[in-house]
Amino acid sequence: MSDDKQILLKWIEEDRDRLVTFFSDFIRAKSPNPPGDTVHAAETAEKVLKQEGLDYERIAPQANMPNIIASFGGEAGDGKHLVLNGHIDVFPASGDKTPEGRDAFSGDVEDGWVYGRGASDMKAGTTASLFTYIYLNRLRDRLKGRLSLTMVSDEETLGPWGAQYLLENHPDAPGDCCLNGEPSSAQTILFSERGFLWLEFTVKTDGAHGSFGHTPYKNAVKLSTKIFEELEELTNLQVEVPAEIADGVQESKAILTQFSGEDAAERIGKVQLSIGRIEGGTKVNMMPSKCVFEADFRIPLGLTKAELLAKVHEIVEKYPQLSVKEINGADPSWSDPNDEMIDIIRSNVRELRGFEPARMVSLGATDCRLWRFRDIPAFCYGPSPSTMATVDEKLEIEDFLHTVRSHVLSAYDYLTADRS
C-alpha cells in the first residue's frame, strides 16, 4: 500500500470518534421524506465543511430541500472527474418510538452500533462521501482531474429537486464516474438496477345492492381482483439479458442464491408486481362503484418501461371500466460490469478485508440511474441493507467505517491512476 494511502487510513483511525459522532448527529438531524425537509441535516454537513475551510454551494430549487455541491481540481495534472454522491433525506419512521422505546431518530451509539432512521439508508454512505471529499482535499497536490461532492435531497420520493436537478443545472455534477454509498453490503458492488413502473388504476362500474351478487362486473372491487390476475401474468414475460452485462448478471444471481435463495435470484430476470394500495367501497351491503389501486412493477434488465407499459395497455383495453395513470417510472440501468472503478473497489476491499465483493444488480432504485442514463458509469458500494427501513434501523460501526475507508482509498486510486 502506498504511503499516501497509509496516511489516509491513519487519518480515518485518528478521526474514529469524530466520524461516529458526526454520523450519530447526522441521524438525529431528522430528514424524513415525505415531507422532505432536509434543512437541519444539510446544515449538519455544512458545519463540517466550514470547519475544514472548504467552499461549497447550497442549491435549493425547493427551499426546504437544499442540495450541497462542492468541487476542486487536482494539482498533479489532467485526469478524470469523479463525483461522490449521497442523499440526505431518509424514509419516514414508522412512529416516534421503536418497539424497544428508542427514539426513531435517536442516533444512539451502543455496543458497537449506531441506531436511528437513515443509519443504513443512507446517512452512513453520505457521511463516507463527505469525509472522502475532506480527506482527499488535503492531498490535492497528488491528484489528477477533479473531485466533486453532491449531497442531495429528494431521493426517497424520486423527485426532481435533488440529483436530477443538479445534473441538469450544475456543470460539476455529471463528471466521468459516480461513486455512491447506498447500502449494498461489503460483499457486493451495485453496477446496475432494475427499472420500475408505478401505475394507478381506476375501475368504475354502475354498482348495485350487495344482494345482487350475480350481476356481472357491477362490483368494482371484485372486477379489480380479476384484473390483478391478468396483471400478474406479466411476471411470466420472457426477458433476455443484454449480452454486454450477462457476466455481471450471472454473478449477481450466484450471490443472491447464496445469501437469499433461488427465488431472490430469479427476480433479476423477471417482471415483479406488488399491489401497494387499494381503495374501494362505502358500505358492506353495497357493491362498490369505484375501486382505485396502485401497482409497483419492477422491470428486469432487457425490458424497457415502454415495452411493459404497452403490455399493460393491452389489458386495460379489454375492460371499458378500467383506466390507468402513470405515477412514476424509469428504465433499467447499468454500467459496464468490467469498469475500472469496480476493479479499484475490489482491490481496496481485498487489501482491507481479504475478499473481493461480487458485482450485483440492485433490486431497488438509486440515484445512480440518473448518471447511467447520461452514459456515465455509476456504482454503489455501501454498508449492509439488513435493517434498512425497519422499525429499528441500525448499523454496525465497523461496517460504517469500512464504507468510509473503501470510498477514501478508491477515490484516491481513481484520481491518481496513470491512464497514459
* Annotated domain spans of the chain: 3-193+333-416, 195-330
Q: Judge whether 3-193+333-416 and 195-330 match in fold.
A: no
Identify the CA nearest to 395 among candidates 101, 75, 84, 24. Answer: 24
Cell 449538519 locates to 44
Residues 40 and 31: beta-carbon distance below 8 Å: yes
**Cα distances (Å, whole numbers) of residue 273 to 232, 233, 305, 419:** 7, 10, 14, 44
**Mean pLDDT, residues 59-67:** 96
In this model, does residue 231 exceed pLDDT 90?
yes
**Cα distances (Å, whole numbers) of residue 82 to 129, 276, 307, 327, 376:** 11, 37, 34, 32, 10
Q: What is the pLDDT of residues 293-320, one digit of tens each?
A: 999 999 999 999 999 999 999 999 999 9
Specify the pLDDT at position 157: 87
Looking at domain 195-330, its CATH class is: alpha beta
To the question of domain 3-193+333-416 being in CATH 3.90.1150.10, the answer is no
Confidence of residue 256 (pLDDT cuts 50, 70, 90): confident
DSSP β-bridge partners for residue 199: 295, 326
Specify the pLDDT at position 266: 78
Distance between CA atoms of 241 and 243, rounded to whole angstroms? 6
Specify the pLDDT at position 73: 96
Q: Which residues contact 380 (CB under 8 A, 6 or more apart)?
A: 125, 180, 181, 182, 184, 189, 190, 362, 366, 368
Instruction: Fill in the amino acid letter for 392.
Output: D
Confidence of residue 348 (pLDDT cuts 50, 70, 90): very high
Specify the pLDDT at position 364: 87
